[in-house]
């Protein structure tokens, strides 16, 4: 039996390279967002703080306020910006992850908190960033 012609070959998924590329792109964008927030006067607390409910990209301090930051990248904003992709389910997971983070860090547990989103578009190496302070509240999750 002859091998299939080129046009008849079954399509195969690209190997894990896409996942690796996506992780690398995410790390680049998160790093750019972190630098942007540091220049704006926020201070680092943690990066990629994870638990069973998910991961908080950045945890920072803005004065006495603990800021949980979700970084969302889109190559373009043609289908809505990154903030639009932080739906009710994602907000709920972020709130639960923040609660667990605060339980693990009792020194921060009584601090006021807020949830910010940094939208990133364009080239991941030097993305355009839009910082949305207090993008949602914990009771909206």
> Tell me, what CATH number does 136's domain have?
3.40.1350.10
Q: Which residue has the tokens 């190496």?
A: 125
Residue 7 belongs to a domain: no
Q: How many residues does the chain have?
A: 141
Strand partners, 65: 62
Residue 3 belongs to a domain: no
Contact 33, 47 (CB under 8 A): no
As a dihedral over the C-alpha atoms of residue 69, residue 34, residue 102, residue 110, rounded to 10 degrees, the angle is: -90
Residue 92 belongs to a domain: yes
Structure confidence at residue 4 (pLDDT): 52
Residue 125's domain comprises 16-140
pLDDT digits 0-9 by tens, 83-116: 777 888 999 999 999 999 999 999 999 999 999 9
Backbone angles phi, psi at 80, to 5 degrees: 100, 150
pLDDT digits 0-9 by tens, 51-79: 888 899 999 999 999 999 999 998 766 66
DSSP 39-53: HTT-EEEEEEEEETT
Backbone angles phi, psi at 49, to 5 degrees: -80, 110
What pTM does this model have? 0.81
Residue 5 belongs to a domain: no
Structural domain count, the chain: 1
């Amino acid at each position: 039996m002859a091998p299939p012609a080129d046009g008849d070959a079954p399509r195969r998924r690209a190997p894990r390279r896409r996942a690796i590329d996506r992780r690398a792109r995410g790390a680049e964008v998160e790093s750019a967002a972190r630098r942007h927030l540091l220049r704006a006067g926020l201070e680092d607390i943690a990066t990629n703080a994870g638990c069973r409910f998910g991961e908080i990209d950045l945890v920072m301090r803005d004065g006495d306020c603990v800021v949980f930051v979700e970084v969302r990248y889109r190559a373009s904003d043609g289908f809505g910006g990154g903030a639009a992709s932080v739906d009710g389910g994602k907000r709920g997971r972020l709130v639960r992850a923040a609660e667990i983070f605060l339980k693990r860090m009792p020194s921060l547990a009584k601090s006021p908190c807020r949830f910010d989103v940094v939208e990133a578009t364009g080239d991941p190496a030097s993305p355009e960033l839009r910082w949305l302070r207090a993008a949602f509240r914990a009771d909206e999750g």
